[in-house]
Chain A
Amino acid sequence: ETGVTQSPTHLIKTRGQQVTLRCSSQSGHNTVSWYQQALGQGPQFIFQYYREEENGRGNFPPRFSGLQFPNYSSELNVNALELDDSALYLCASSPDRVLRETQYFGPGTRLLVL
């Protein structure tokens, strides 16, 4: 059984550009959540997808958007990048409806915006 995987591992972009981050959920998991972790902070909830539909969103602007595919993998898109978007982006998957809070995290994508 493979765990949660994310790509790329690192990324450097400039202000105003757009970025797409990818996540493959753990086998059998149908829920994917995305978090942003700034240096020295705990992860902040961006949004969650359950069976291809958005199932809740945190305090992030609309330029943060996402998708979930039929195989439950997911993408996080960020438009018009700002310097403050520099962070570790974590994806987490959960096994089923009842245990959806037991989230298993991938290794993250470290994004640097210059």
Chain B
Amino acid sequence: EDKVVQSPLSLVVHEGDTVTLNCSYEVTNFRSLLWYKQEKKAPTFLFMLTSSGIEKKSGRLSSILDKKELFSILNITATQTGDSAVYLCAVGGGSNYKLTFGKGTLLTVNP
């Protein structure tokens, strides 16, 4: 059975801090790993990673994938209160295009 494990499950930081969120996975026929941000309802797409070692960046957010060790990290630098959300990691694989999600990391950024 496909499995995605995120850590930590929750994290409280102060504005300006840098955070690293972790995602490890076991999935048959891995194709991609995706990160989403969920504030209230709709998960918002952040990154899709398919190749090892290539960092994807968007502003203060960056992510990298290690296909040998089966994990990914999401870094957020200079955190702001608007970064407070649940960050979901999902992996795509198998014969259809379903995503298997982790439980998420609840990030709280205090002013």
Seen from chain A, the residues whose Cβ lies within 8 Å of a Cβ on chain B are 4, 31, 33, 35, 40-45, 48, 55-56, 58, 88, 90, 92, 94, 100-108, 110
Contact = CB atoms under 8 A, between A and B. Distances in A.
B98 A42 contact: no
Interface stretch (B38-46, B57-65, B72-80): B38-46
Contact of A108 (B41, B44, B95): B41
Interface pairs A-B: 4 shortest CB-CB: A56-B96, A42-B101, A101-B92, A100-B97
Determine chain B's interface SS by DSSP, over half rule: strand
Contacts of A110: 41
Given A101-B48, A101-B92, A43 B43 contact: yes
Contact of A42 (B4, B41, B92, B95): B4
Nearest to A9: B41
Contacts of A56: 94-98
Contact of B45 (A40, A43, A44, A104): A104
Given A42-B4, A48-B96, A56-B96, A105 B101 contact: no
18 contacts: A33-B97, A35-B101, A40-B103, A42-B90, A42-B103, A43-B99, A45-B98, A45-B100, A48-B96, A90-B41, A101-B48, A101-B92, A101-B99, A102-B45, A105-B42, A105-B43, A107-B41, A108-B41
Contact of B98 (A48, A88, A104): A48
Contact of A90 (B31, B43, B45): B43
